[in-house]
Amino acid sequence: MLLNTAEFQAGSYQPRFHQIDLDKDILNKLYKEQLQNAKQRGLELIYNCELNDSKILADEYSTIHIFANLIDNALNYTKKGKVEILLTKNEDGNVIVEIKDTGIGIAEEFLPNLFKPFAQEEQGYSRSFEGNGLGLALVKNYCDVNNALIEVESVKNVGSTFRIIFDKNNKIILN
């Protein structure tokens, strides 16, 4: 994560845009990879694809890392209940991926700091969770690379929803 962050800070990350199928190429694979992890933690992991066509124009490497990080976080910060991955479209025809959990949630006052490098809600040696505070900063950078919007809804001790919105009119120029 440190190397990927340094790449962004140096402006040296070179995305490679092409058409990818979010369902087949990324989300279904991540779901299958994390299913055993969820079961071992006593969590339910659910994946629903409501689309017949889930192709988008994006950089595959960064898109994989967006969802790998968000799904991993959802599992890590959920002690009981479930993590849901939903692939759908909104009324404007934009492709939407939601990752919802019944985890610890995020305090409303911390949300403005959520995507800053090294930002963590709990600080110090007594914090409850591992991590370096770079994951969500990278997710935000990767969303920016792909012209995707990231939204977060969270209630402390109830859970969180991370929503990634890929614009159907994405104007990324293919090389």
Burial 80-101 (b: 16+ CB within 10 A, else e): eebbbbbbebeeeebbbbbbbb
Higher pLDDT, 114 or 23: 23
- Has residue 94 got a pLDDT over 70? yes
Sheet of 44-49, strand order: 44-49, 82-89, 95-101, 159-166, 148-155
- In the chain, what are the domain boundaries? 2-166
pLDDT of 116 reads 85
Which residues does 146 contact at the CB level (< 8 Å), separation at least 6?
15, 58, 59, 62, 63, 66, 166, 170, 172
pLDDT band at residue 113 using 50, 70 and 90 as cut-offs: confident
Q: Kind and range of the H or E element at 20?
A: strand 17-21
Class of the CATH-defined domain 2-166: alpha beta
10-27 per-position pLDDT tens digit? 566 789 999 999 999 999
If one compares 6 and 101, the residue with the highest pLDDT of the two is: 101
- pLDDT exceeds cutoff 60 at 85: yes
